[in-house]
Each structure stands twice: as C-alpha cells, then as structure tokens.
C-alpha cells in the first residue's frame, strides 16, 4: 500500500516484511546500470534462445529509463515471434557480492499502476558478452536464475555482436 508519510522513521515503522519492501523518495531518481545502447540476445521458457537477430537496450531520459526492443525471432510461436518492446523505469539498483540487481517499473501497464520486474545480473569476463541477466515476472529478486521468465546475454556497448553479412549488388 502507498503512504504519503514524509518521515522515514514513521514509514519504516509501518513495514512488516523488510525483505519485500522498497522505499523510494518521490523526488529521487535512479540511474540505470546500462547506459547508451547495447545489444542483447534472450531466452524464454516457452521458446528457448533467440540469438539469430540481436535485440537492443537503449537508455533514455537521462539514463533513468531502459527501452528493451526485442527483434523478431524466427521459428518462435509465442510472444517472441513478433517484434515488441518493454519500457522500464529504473527505480532501484544495488549489488550484493558479485551479483547486481535492478528493480524496474514497466511503464506500458498504467491500468495496474505499474508492474515491477527484478533483473538480476553478473558481469562476465568473456569476449562474446559482458553480462548474464535474468528477469522475473514479479517484483521479487533472487539469484541469477536460468529458469526465469527471461534470460539475457547483454553485450558490451563498444564490442557488440559480430554478425556475418553478404553484400549483393543489384
């Protein structure tokens, strides 16, 4: 539930379950962990990996919004068969050991007042991709989970993904 209390001590006294509570000042903002433009591939439980056509994440509004643009994925029958996007406002970001967390509010669901997703990710020392990330369909955060609703391989901004192209002269 929401409260208009301004005093942090009063707010904290109202919290019953600290492990499931996020307090955020209305006038504060959180910078998203991925800035600029990055490519990613993703997997879903229903359709498996979609790596034939890399998608992209672009940071917007002074790096406080992430726009996930999912490209068409050949051979997939569910929601990934057509291009779609997800606009996420970054509301909290933190690190525990080597694991990073991002709590995001999905902006394109105003009827429910916004839906929150947790993204869990780790930096990987690998020449192919920079981060492994999982996304829950809920506001609960946990370990990096490859059985999550979506998993991602996020590529370094400067390296990207090397794709092979054939140039045809007409």
Q: What is the pTM for the complete model shown?
A: 0.74
Q: Whole domain around residue 131: which residue ranges?
A: 25-154
Question: 155-167, pLDDT tens digit by residue?
Answer: 986 554 444 333 3
Instruction: Tell whether 60 is covered by a domain.
Output: yes
Instruction: Tell whether 7 is covered by a domain.
Output: no
Instruction: Tell whether 164 is covered by a domain.
Output: no
Instruction: Tell whether 3 is covered by a domain.
Output: no
Instruction: Tell whether 143 is covered by a domain.
Output: yes
Instruction: Tell whether 11 is covered by a domain.
Output: no
Question: What is the domain count for the chain?
Answer: 1
Tell me the DSSP string of 40-94.
EEEEETTTEEEEEEEEEEEEETTTTEEEEEEPP-TT--SGGGS-EEEEEEEEEEE
* Phi, psi values for residue 13, rounded to 5°: -70, -20
Question: 60-110, pLDDT tens digit by residue?
Answer: 989 999 999 988 877 666 555 556 888 999 999 999 999 999 999 887 654
């Amino acid at each position: 539930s929401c409260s208009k209390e301004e005093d942090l001590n009063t707010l904290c006294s109202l919290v019953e379950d600290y492990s499931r509570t996020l307090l955020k000042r209305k006038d504060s903002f959180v910078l998203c962990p991925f800035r600029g433009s990055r490519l990613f591939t993703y997997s879903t439980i229903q359709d498996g990996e979609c790596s034939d056509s890399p998608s992209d994440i672009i940071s917007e509004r002074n790096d406080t919004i992430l726009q996930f643009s999912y490209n068409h994925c050949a051979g997939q029958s569910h929601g990934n068969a057509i291009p779609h996007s997800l606009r996420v406002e970054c509301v909290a970001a933190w690190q525990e050991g080597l694991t990073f967390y991002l709590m995001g509010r999905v902006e394109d669901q105003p009827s429910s007042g916004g839906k929150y997703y947790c993204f869990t990710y780790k930096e990987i020392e690998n020449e192919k991709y920079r981060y492994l990330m999982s996304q829950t369909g809920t506001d609960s955060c946990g370990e990096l989970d490859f059985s999550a609703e979506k998993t991602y391989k996020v590529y370094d901004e400067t390296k990207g993904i090397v794709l092979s192209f054939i140039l045809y002269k007409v």
